[in-house]
Amino acid sequence: MSKQKTNKLKILNDPIYGFISIPNSLIFDIIEHPYFQRLRRVTQMGLSNLVYPGANHTRFHHAIGCMHLMQKAVHVLRTKNVEISNKEANALYIAILLHDIGHGAFSHALEHSIVNGIAHEEISLKFMKKLNEKFKGKLTLAIKIFEGKYHRSFFNQLISSQLDIDRLDYLKRDSFFTGVAEGNISSDRLITMMNVKNDELVIEQKGIYSVEKFLIARRLMYWQVYLHKTCLSAETLLVKTLQRAKELAKKNVELSASTPLRYFLYNTINAENFTDETLDIFSTLDDYDVLSAIKEWVHHDDLVLAKLSSMIVNRKLLKIQLQDKPFTTKQLEKIDVSFKNELGIAKEDLHYFKFEDKVINQAYNSEKPIKILTKKGKLKDIAKASDQLNLQTLTKPVIKYYVCYPKKFLLN
């Protein structure tokens, strides 16, 4: 009995942090649960590995990494005399561990195609509540913190804010596995600079340059990695493929698909009809269902679905152009895809291959500011505390417009 317990105090290897220890057996059991194990089969960065071949890390690893950083944060805050009880600490670990458990296969692609009537945060909450039943109420405080209903507001800020533990791990992790060293941030230093003032999470003044650098690194990761031309093209292609599949499913066309994928293709799911049963099915849907279905669809009779699928599998992506302004009608007309049409793709389906859209990124949101604790004990918005760098300009959302279309030779 006692032997079993000590067995549970496991240590995990992490190429980034070295060793990660699982703090107690409740958390060990949550990690062991099939709901959580599914995250092993969901990549953190979707199809970005088509551009950055090292980026195969999973949501499982990210969640575990967050839990590790949260342990550090709790330790740092306690040394600064911020009182955090063991119960509260444990709730923080659970909340951060589960904050993204509702993410679908390929992270974001599903939300924009076949599971789009409900946000992933809501699904996360559903998972937590279900686990809370299974673990007899031991997750109640974690859920309260996750929902922002706990009276000490810095608890929720550690889970969800502009400088939350989630970002501190994913920026570091994504930078590490993509090999884009410039996106690297010093999670360690930022955590060391954390403090709490008036129940708010703040950064001590000497950490100003670190926060600045964090914001710039994050911005760099957005434009150089997450919204990288080719990543964007791959991601969009995946969404279009699933949208086509959904369209066919609505017409009752038969599609190869695993049981859970079939469920979400042939049913229209939204926040209202997302039952416990739906959750259980969702909990078995991962990257493997989606990609293996797409591999089968390469041979489907529907030419549109077959083409789109084949482009993903063989990495023959759509061409993509980005610019700062919306594309003019003239620009769009220049892109002639009528050749597709000739090959048997109906005119009304050409929008699957040629389409325009935009991406937006805001490097800093001044509405929920990162607060700096000055040496005199006052709080300042980082955008104003920074002596020179005009962070105010970072609050302006940057919009980029893009158009995708096939290269002609793809059709051969």
Residues 194-233 that bind a copy of itself (CB under 8 A): 209-210, 212-213, 216-217, 219-220, 223-224
Q: How far is the CB of 374 from a copy of itself (least distance, A)?
A: 12
Q: Under the criterion CB under 8 A, does residue 58 sit at the interface with a copy of itself?
A: yes
Residue 22 beta carbon to a copy of itself: minimum distance, rounded to whole angstroms: 12
From residue 14 to residue 43, what is the string marking binding to a copy of itself with x (rule CB under 8 A)? xxx-xx------------x-x--x--xx-x
Kindly tell me which of 150 and 405 has the beta carbon lying closer to a copy of itself.
Answer: 405
Given the rule CB under 8 A, which of 90-98, 112-120, 145-153, 177-185 is the region that contacts a copy of itself? Answer: 177-185
Strand order in the sheet with 194-197: 194-197, 200-204, 371-373, 379-381
Q: Can you give the chain as a three-state secondary structure string?
A: CHHHHHHHCCEEEECCCEEEECCCHHHHHHHHCHHHHHHHHCECCHHHHHCCCCCCCEHHHHHHHHHHHHHHHHHHHHHCCCCCCHHHHHHHHHHHHHCCCCCECCECCHHHCCCCECCHHHHHHHHHHHHHHHCCCCCHHHHHHHCCCCCCHHHHHHHCCCCCHHHHHHHHHHHHHHCCHHHCCCHHHHHHCEEEECCEEEEEHHHHHHHHHHHHHHHHHHHHHHCCHHHHHHHHHHHHHHHHHHHHHHCCCCCCCCHHHHHHHHCCCECCCCCHHHHHHHCCCCHHHHHHHHHHHCCCCCHHHHHHHHHHHCCCCCEEEEECCCCCHHHHHHCCCHHHHHCCCCHHHHHHCCEEEEEEECCCCCCCCCEEECCCCCEEEHHHHCCCCCHHHHHCCEEEEEEEECCHHHHC
Please give the structure tokens belonging to residue 111: 């939300």
Examine residue 348 and tell whether it contacts a copy of itself (CB under 8 A): no
CB of residue 40 to a copy of itself, shortest distance in Å = 7
Which lies closer to a copy of itself via its Cβ, residue 170 or residue 176? 176
Q: Does 377 bind a copy of itself (CB under 8 A)?
A: no
**One of 112, 144, 295, 319 touching a copy of itself (CB under 8 A):** 295
* Shortest spacing between CB 66 and a copy of itself, in angstroms: 13
Q: How many residues bind a copy of itself (CB under 8 A)?
A: 76
Residue span binding a copy of itself (CB under 8 A) among the ranges 48-56, 87-95, 104-112, 114-122: 48-56
From 13-21, 115-123, 138-146, 195-203, give the range in contact with a copy of itself by CB under 8 A: 13-21
133, 314, 358, 378: which one contacts a copy of itself (CB under 8 A)?
314
CB of 212 to a copy of itself, least distance (A): 6
Residue choice 83, 277, 301, 324 for contact with a copy of itself (CB under 8 A): 324
Residue 214 or 353 with smaller CB distance to a copy of itself: 214
Min CB(181)–a copy of itself separation in Å: 5
**Exactly one of 7, 86, 270, 393 binds a copy of itself (CB under 8 A); which one?**
393
Site for a copy of itself in 67-126 (CB under 8 A): 79
Using CB under 8 A as the binding rule, whether residue 137 contacts a copy of itself is answered as no
144 lies in the binding site for a copy of itself (CB under 8 A): no
